[in-house]
Structure 1
Amino acid sequence: MADAAVEFLLENLKQLLLYHAHLILDSKTQVENLENDLRLFKAFLKDSTKKRKKDETLRELVRQIRDVVYEAEDVIDAFVTQAAEIKSKSYFKKIFFTPAKLLTVAKDVETIGAKVKNIYGKNKIDFASLNIDGGVADDKIPDEKKDPSVRQENIVGLEDETDTIIKYLTEESKQLDVISIIGMPGLGKTTLAGKIFRDQRIQFEFPTRIWVYVSQEFRKRDVFLSILSNFTRITDDMYLKSDQDITKLLRMNLERGKYFIVMDDVWTAAAWEELQDAFPKANNMGKILITSRNEEVAFQANRDREPHKLRLLSSEESWLLLRLEVFGNPECPSELEALGKLIVEQCGRLPLAIVVIGGTLVKKASSGDTGARKNAWKKVSESVNTYLNDDQDKRMEKIIALSYDKLPYYLRSCFLYLGMFPEDFKIPVRKLTLMWIAEGFILQKPGISLEETAEDYLEDLIGRNLVMVEEVNPDGKIKTCRIHDMLREFCKNEAENTKENFFQEMKRSSGGNFEPSVSQVVNFRRLCIHSNVTSFISKKPFGPRVRSFLCFSKEDITLLPENISCIPAAFKLLRVLEGKSFKFTKFPSDITNLVHLRYLVLSSNFKILPDSIAKLWNIQTLIVDTTSRTLDIKADIWKMIQLRHVKVNASTTLLKTSKTKEGEKLQTLGTISHQSCTEDFFDRARGLKRLGIRGRIDALLDAKGMEKLVNLDKLKLVNDAFPLPPSEGRLPSLPQPYKFPPKLRSITLSATFLDWSHMPTLGMLDTLEVLKLKDNAFDGRYWEAAEGGFRHLEILHVERTNLVVWVAAGHHFPRLRCLVLRNCEKLEAIPVGLADSLQKLDLKRVSKSASESARRIEKVKESKQGTETSKRNQFKLYIAPGDE
């Protein structure tokens, strides 16, 4: 991790010297000298990337560099924190801070500089001859932005296994039937369950199909609420119900009717014992499919049925899987065939091992000449061969390590970071990429934003089969991703290893103590904790080196008044604080002393964000989740020069200040109140790419300046007439097309109650590709599409409307490829003419007649596409359970 640490500290020093040199006047020279030393380090690390894999001396040198960089970072940041605190204190308190303290910190920086020079001398490396801006070909970040490509999941074999389990699921039983798939990690239990879940025979048999992740650490109420969400809308009141009430409610919904539930990754028999109360045994039309590593789970769930033990792939299936992973089809160059077959046998015919190795080989498949490719495959085969005598678990672990070792240096930190999220967690891609940026893992490239580069990194990891795509947005961008349990375990082990000290997960043992102990927190650089959070915080941990604190707990956590200051006091050098899981009962004023924060998520009930938040001069991402309908930000966000993304779930009022050229980095702002949308606001917000507005949207009809948002890509307008009912805020019309931002690609309208006759206004926006109409954005029973509009619209999402008749043909939406309909129960039919361009139709809670029209569209598409259409371009129809 030395490479990322050096890059980050260099950027940190650059910003410090540029904007806050007044804080380090007494040690500015030492800091500048250290900056020069770090540039040489950067050159050495890039130049030695390949050599250090085989040279222990170089690896030891890299560890020394990393340790020195970490030490430098700690000293400088502690100094800056101390100086910032003193600067904010009153005159009378300042007199207690003597120059001796500044000199002490300056000497610490000087000592680190001496250590750097000592490493130079000991190893006698000619740093001057290194290319400071150069790099190694394999590790060089591509300059061109490539189109995102989500890898298709390749499911090979398992036809016999699939047929066997579907036979169990479709046969009659006397009571609730539970079938279990048992097998070792990486064998493909979840893949097989997914194949069964999507099988047409199952879709036909079960109108209600539900998938829920259980995992090692779970809360019964979360599992039950996840299942309940398929039967009813989960309201805030429901979250307040007791576990017993939620269990009872779920039982009522499952007592009758035909349903199929997949419970993925149940770890123990005790876990099933805890969950089974909600499933009425008397309903013999219910079927549950469990996946587990533990055979005891299967016996506990159903003593009358033997568990289905998943087999390894056959040699032929293994070889086919590798070809699909590497080449995307069953073809393989003849010169690579023998080596490929040898590799899959060395993988023990374990699907996950083959997929991971396939991710390593995919970049070698098309690079270089025939001889070079064959040599690359031979090296991989020889590497895997050394693990043949290990058992399957150890072999899998070493194969993952082999893939990890072949990652470019700039991807390693990003990959290990995934281990900080809970097991089976759906990781929001936007959150992940912004965290990577805050951590300093993303390198700035000319002409490309940090956010775009971070997305490239993720796509690279997906292409290498180290990350799985979970959900994809209608526009094709990845919404959430996951990491396989074994890969997560590898990340944790590698990160917690004493040589790396990348991050540490805090867990409480059965004895009630934390492992590792709370006293050891003093040694760690990043912490994650996903359970027993209140207990951990109440022990008042102290982590002077901790830079990141992530909490994705499923518990309901409200910090008591005496614990509100514990986190700022414990971790003064924090860069990343993911705190959505715990609620602050009042604004934690001490948090503004964390001047190194770059990413901050706060959960609260407060209505005001004080002006002191501006003291966080490094903040890049600020997310506030509040139970209040409104939030008043008292700080001038335009003067927070590093701020890139502000996201608040309440209607937010911004401070009115004089015009300034600052705030040019701000890209995301939402949701702000309509009162904040003044002409002055639009003048200074020209760099925005995403904007959300919540309030009386009709007040914006006469607003001046929205067209000045020349970089705006996404606009979300949420009409909120509170305390009046939503329909009272009905919009009489829309602004004229020339008043909209000129490059607008996506618009979301919510609760605007517009008449369908105003739809042509949106149709005249030339750049519009995505249109989302939610919560009665348009009102009326009849919509006839107008001529000549929506020339570039690709995605249309309509949710909660009283629309009955929709008249449209293909030429009204010439490029429409994705149509999403939600809660459109009155809509009689989907226009068949839209079939011309449609590639995806996604329906949930629509009428039976609308579902039938979707089936007709599917038949039209099938007749036109024929059998030679590529898998990527095939028409996809999804109708939610119960709508068919």
Structure 2
Amino acid sequence: MAETVVSFVSDHLATLLREEGSLLGGLRQEVQLIKDELGHMKAFLKVAEAKEEDDPRLQEWIKQVREAAYDIEDVLDEFVLRFAGYRHHGFCGSLQRILKAIKSLRARHQVVSEIQSIKSRIKNISEGRQRYQVEFGINDSVTGSSTMNDSWRYSRDDALLVEEAKLVGIDQPKQHLISKLLEGDDHQLKAISVVGMAGLGKTTLVKKVHDDPEVRKNFPVRAWVTVSQTCDFPKLLRDLIRQLHKDLDKSVPQSIESMTTAELKEFVKDFLRRAGRYAIVFDDVWHVEFWNAIKFALPEGNYGNCVMQTTRKADVASASCTESQDYVYKMEPLSIEDSWTLFCNKIFKGNRCPAHLMDVAKAVLDKCDGLPLAIVAIGGLLASKDASRIDEWDKIQHSLGGELEGAGKLERVKRILSLSYNDLPSHLKPCLLYLSIYPEDDLIACQTLILLWIAERFVEWREGMSIEDVAWGYLSELISRSLIQVTDVFYEGLPYDCRIHDLMREVILIKSREQNMMTVTTGQPMTWPSEKVRRLAIHSSSNSSNIQYHQQRQFYCFEHLRSFITVRSTNPLLSKTFLSEVLRSSKLLMVLELGGEEIEETPNEIFNLLHLTYLNLYGTKVAKVPRAIGKLQILEYLNLGDTGVRELPVEILKLLKLRYLIVFQRVDPSGSDYGYHGFKGPSKLGRLQALQRLGTIDVSSGSVIVKELGKLTQLRELFITQLRREDGKELCSSLVNLTGLRQLSVDSVGKGDDYVDLNHHQHSLSSYSSCSFLQSLRVLIMRGRLEKMPIWITHLQNLVRLDLIWSGLRAEEDPLESLQHLPNLGEISFCGSYQGERLCFKAGGFLKLKQLWLRRMEGLRRMTMEEGACPHLQRLILKQLPLLEDLPSGIQNLSHLQELGLYEMSSRMMEKVENQEEESEDYRRMTHIPEIVIGFYTDDGRRRIRRLWGKKKKKTILA
């Protein structure tokens, strides 16, 4: 983490020297010296941070470096705020500069003094670096530690000694892996990878597979090698050679001690080629490079040899599994039932949990979230407590974070989980620690998370890539490393929501506090940290009356604040006094997240935050944006979604760095079927050239604003409301210029019988094959009446999602005709889109469709799914189709269908689905569907959901 801060500050210094050198004057040499020293420290930090947990002196030195880097960042931003921000032009501007310089002599003297002080600190810290380099024998070219922590070695050995009788939930995955091991071609080397987060029991599972009698019989030559993070490859090969000789009762040649790596590989390969059928396990593999190195020592032969590996990282798992027989097994957490069994086995020796402990036991088990390592460790801790005293169990439940810290009883769990953090490259460490802003069990919106990373300056620009795409890459890597769990995806498979395991979150909180990354409070009385608070997150249980701070220390706490974040607040009103004080004293604030707070007007103090890049007021009661918004000239993200704002002042055009502008309110608060109220913007909106997302813009004022949209050539997402029919031609002309547009939403709801006409485009979209707009579009949402389907829709070769809402297409304008051959279309949602009586999905159509929603089409009587249509459909939702009385004809052809949802359908349809006899034809048409969900309203107006599970499974009714 310190390496990341130093790297960022070093880059910041380079930019300042390059672009603001004239303002530095005599300070230029001082700043250059600081930059050079930080460069030397950065190289040393990469190694020092890997060793800091085992040496308190290194910890203290790294802390000094980090705090010095933070202070340099503050001084630099203060400098820019005081001087670089004051630029004027012309004669009047010259007079202002002179006056400003006179007034700023004191400020300039203060900056000089601060930089001199920092230079002195850096010099002392640098002397410490040189001393530690000699003491630890580390030079700047070393990239990693060469020794492995003994406790980690012991923890892996422990997993190999677990008795099978004590294991829970292992039988099914064990048999599954054995079958994979024994099946298939006997003339090909088979690779099987088991992947999952730390503590899931990967090593234990693979050990039981490896030792199974059936496996031993089929693979007489066997070996187990622990790889781990700090792999000494020649040593590993020698260990493998010793195991193989011991397994075959042969003496180990002394010559292996002097062999080179290449000779050792050749020795292993020759030995295995002659030995017979082998199965080798490589446990705890961390790097793709390991497989690329070891595979040359493994002969394929003619015996069906097998290699298994365990890893926390998806890319490592897939790197070794490239052939048709290879297999990646994703390790899942224990089920609730198996978790409870393991928990009781550990604490009560297989007996029942006492009734008075049930509630606290379940709360503790929820924290473990199916992680066997945690269940066993926490179970062992609770087993030492008096079972008659519920207060002792309560104490453990509420202090798990403390038990993970330092030399707590769960320190081993922390150490194992921390290895994944320690293995991260420097640019990903702050991204992971940033997750500490989210409360326990919170679903994390991935889009919001990556935008916050960008605003915090964690994401590095890369040539040829947008900053958002780089950030998505960061998120993908954290997911691949099993540190973040995806809970939902949206179009193109991108993660929509994610979460972190509760105990991993505790480790992140510990690391975050150690690094002074984030201060998290629920508003309860607390003592602010002795270190400077740089990021403050207030969680949902905050109460304005409980947000307490010592008045005299307020300036000390918040003058260094860079981010102020409230998360899902249920607080009636964040204390105005507290918020005003924070904003007034935090002049370096970059991120302000107030989404959901009951703020009725934008605090005036915000407009003095000239470093602000991210401002979120989503879901507040703000109804007006003051003209002072123009002062926030480096603002990149402004979210006024679900507020009362309907118009933006002309001063918004001063925000030339603005990339995200989001202003809307739902017409119907319960959903989005009826569209959104947008905002009316200034007529010269095209000046905001950096915009990448614009929504929702009200274009009812006419063609002038529609034409301006064509100037926003960086747009990726565009949401339009109140489009007039006569402006359709102008919109098409503007869209041609938006060559990178990925998502388009066009809304005309509220115009009575008027139509959206997007077919006046022959002159502008005449060459479909070369039109960049048509090639880039991924998501299209059209809300409002269509006279006919736009001709160009058939050319959207990369479209993955289409929503047609209230289109009201006549029977002769069957929308399926235009859409069925779109090669990448994966999701369709029709709502009031079609007036015909029949929809027929024809054979060979919709080859990639996975999800289909049909709603509120009151004339629809029949649906047909021809054989070969929608071959990959997984989810079919039918809602409020009153005349549709039968299931779609041919539904039995949808072999991949996982869920059929029927909501507020006709009583005849409901009766047919719920009361089928197992011998009936209709029942047989449904038996392949794993889940059927029925939604309806009772006579008293309450909504009910009934889930019908597949054949031979019981029905369950849920409220």
Partners of 2:814 and 2:26 lie apart in 1 by 65
Partners of 1:451 and 1:114 lie apart in 2 by 39
1:26, distance to aligned residue in structure 2 (A): 7.2
Which residue pairs with 1:735 in the alignment?
790
Q: 1:126 to 1:729 in 2, by over 3 A?
A: same
Partners of 2:828 and 2:141 lie apart in 1 by 45
2:671 matched to 1:673? no
* 8 Å Cα contact 1:39-1:132 kept in structure 2: no
Which residue pairs with 1:711 in the alignment?
740
Q: 1:415 to 1:784 in 2, by over 3 A?
A: same
1:551, distance to aligned residue in structure 2 (A): 0.9
1:827, distance to aligned residue in structure 2 (A): 4.0
1:571 paired residue among 558, 562, 586 = 586
* 8 Å Cα contact 2:543-2:574 kept in structure 1: no
Letter in 1 for 2:585: A
The correspondence of residues 581-600 of structure 1 with structure 2, limited to 5 A, is: 581-600=596-615
Q: Secondary structure at the match of 2:697?
A: strand
Letter in 2 for 1:531: S
TM-score calculated relative to the size of structure 1? 0.63
Which residue pairs with 2:711 in the alignment?
684
* 8 Å Cα contact 2:595-2:617 kept in structure 1: yes
1:102, distance to aligned residue in structure 2 (A): 1.8
Which residue pairs with 1:528 in the alignment?
538
- Cα-Cα RMSD: 5.3
Q: 1:594 to 1:681 in 2, by over 3 A?
A: same
Partners of 1:23 and 1:748 lie apart in 2 by 54
* 8 Å Cα contact 2:798-2:823 kept in structure 1: yes
Partners of 1:722 and 1:538 lie apart in 2 by 52
* 8 Å Cα contact 1:841-1:876 kept in structure 2: yes
1:66, distance to aligned residue in structure 2 (A): 0.8
Letter in 2 for 1:547: R
Which residue pairs with 1:828 in the alignment?
885
Which residue pairs with 2:417 in the alignment?
403
Letter in 1 for 2:520: E
1:73, distance to aligned residue in structure 2 (A): 1.3
Gaps of 5+ in 1: 139-311, 344-359, 864-873
Partners of 2:482 and 2:735 lie apart in 1 by 43
Q: 1:590 to 1:458 in 2, by over 3 A?
A: same
* 8 Å Cα contact 1:52-1:58 kept in structure 2: yes
1:550 paired residue among 557, 562, 565 = 565
* 8 Å Cα contact 1:600-1:623 kept in structure 2: yes
1:118, distance to aligned residue in structure 2 (A): 3.3
Q: Secondary structure at the match of 1:656?
A: coil
1:420, distance to aligned residue in structure 2 (A): 1.8
Partners of 1:314 and 1:74 lie apart in 2 by 59
Letter in 2 for 1:685: L
1:602, distance to aligned residue in structure 2 (A): 1.0
The correspondence of residues 118-157 of structure 1 with structure 2, limited to 5 A, is: 118-124=124-130
1:525, distance to aligned residue in structure 2 (A): 3.6
Which residue pairs with 2:366 in the alignment?
none
* 8 Å Cα contact 1:418-1:491 kept in structure 2: yes
Q: Secondary structure at the match of 2:45?
A: helix
Q: 1:723 to 1:502 in 2, by over 3 A?
A: farther
Which residue pairs with 2:329 in the alignment?
none
1:304-343 Cα shifts (integer Å, max 9, x gaps): xxxxxxxx99623265699789458997368976999999
2:114 matched to 1:108? yes
1:624 paired residue among 628, 640, 660 = 640
The correspondence of residues 782-797 of structure 1 with structure 2, limited to 5 A, is: 782-784=838-840, 790=846, 792-797=848-853
Q: 1:331 to 1:626 in 2, by over 3 A?
A: closer
2:656 matched to 1:656? no
2:787 matched to 1:773? no
Partners of 1:557 and 1:86 lie apart in 2 by 40
1:530, distance to aligned residue in structure 2 (A): 2.7
Q: 1:611 to 1:314 in 2, by over 3 A?
A: farther
1:601-633 Cα shifts (integer Å, max 9, x gaps): 114444543454344344333211343272325
Partners of 1:690 and 1:858 lie apart in 2 by 44
Letter in 2 for 1:113: K
Partners of 2:727 and 2:887 lie apart in 1 by 33
Partners of 1:313 and 1:633 lie apart in 2 by 70
Partners of 1:762 and 1:134 lie apart in 2 by 60
1:540-565 Cα shifts (integer Å, max 9, x gaps): 85411122212124425346877774
Identity among equivalent pairs (%):
22
1:769-788 Cα shifts (integer Å, max 9, x gaps): 24453653555554445798
Q: Secondary structure at the match of 2:610?
A: coil
Q: 1:136 to 1:669 in 2, by over 3 A?
A: farther
2:898 matched to 1:882? no
Letter in 2 for 1:796: L
* 8 Å Cα contact 1:716-1:749 kept in structure 2: no
Partners of 1:594 and 1:729 lie apart in 2 by 41
Q: Secondary structure at the match of 2:598?
A: strand
Which residue pairs with 2:239 in the alignment?
none
Q: 1:647 to 1:337 in 2, by over 3 A?
A: farther
Letter in 2 for 1:686: T
Letter in 2 for 1:575: M
Partners of 2:923 and 2:49 lie apart in 1 by 52
Q: 1:469 to 1:530 in 2, by over 3 A?
A: same
2:497 matched to 1:483? no
2:439 matched to 1:422? yes
Q: 1:337 to 1:788 in 2, by over 3 A?
A: closer
Q: Secondary structure at the match of 2:710?
A: helix
Q: Secondary structure at the match of 2:110?
A: helix
The structure with more radius of gyration: 2
Partners of 1:2 and 1:76 lie apart in 2 by 18
Q: Secondary structure at the match of 1:882?
A: strand
* Greater RCO, 1 or 2 (C-alpha within 8 Å, sep 6+): 1
Letter in 1 for 2:696: T
* 8 Å Cα contact 1:416-1:491 kept in structure 2: yes
1:809, distance to aligned residue in structure 2 (A): 2.9
The correspondence of residues 210-229 of structure 1 with structure 2, limited to 5 A, is: none
Which residue pairs with 1:332 in the alignment?
206
* 8 Å Cα contact 1:556-1:581 kept in structure 2: no
Q: Secondary structure at the match of 1:415?
A: helix
Q: 1:630 to 1:117 in 2, by over 3 A?
A: same
Letter in 1 for 2:526: E
Letter in 1 for 2:430: S
Q: Secondary structure at the match of 2:447?
A: helix
In terms of mean alpha carbon deviation, does 415-424 or 324-333 score higher?
324-333
* 8 Å Cα contact 2:717-2:743 kept in structure 1: yes
Q: 1:85 to 1:682 in 2, by over 3 A?
A: closer
Partners of 2:416 and 2:458 lie apart in 1 by 22
Partners of 1:549 and 1:107 lie apart in 2 by 29
Which residue pairs with 2:104 in the alignment?
98
1:443-502 Cα shifts (integer Å, max 9, x gaps): 444555443444444444445554444334475443222334433333333323xx4222
Q: 1:520 to 1:35 in 2, by over 3 A?
A: closer
Which residue pairs with 1:721 in the alignment?
750
Letter in 2 for 1:693: I
* 8 Å Cα contact 1:712-1:741 kept in structure 2: no
Gaps of 5+ in 2: 147-162, 178-192, 197-201, 213-222, 228-282, 298-306, 313-371, 384-399, 404-408, 666-676, 757-782, 936-943, 948-959
Partners of 1:102 and 1:66 lie apart in 2 by 25
Q: 1:9 to 1:506 in 2, by over 3 A?
A: same
Partners of 2:659 and 2:144 lie apart in 1 by 33
Q: Secondary structure at the match of 2:168?
A: helix
Partners of 1:758 and 1:87 lie apart in 2 by 60
2:526 paired residue among 511, 515, 533 = 515
* 8 Å Cα contact 2:607-2:632 kept in structure 1: yes
1:669, distance to aligned residue in structure 2 (A): 2.1
Which residue pairs with 2:625 in the alignment?
609
Q: 1:73 to 1:767 in 2, by over 3 A?
A: farther
Q: What number of residue pairs does the alignment pair up?
A: 674
Letter in 2 for 1:507: T
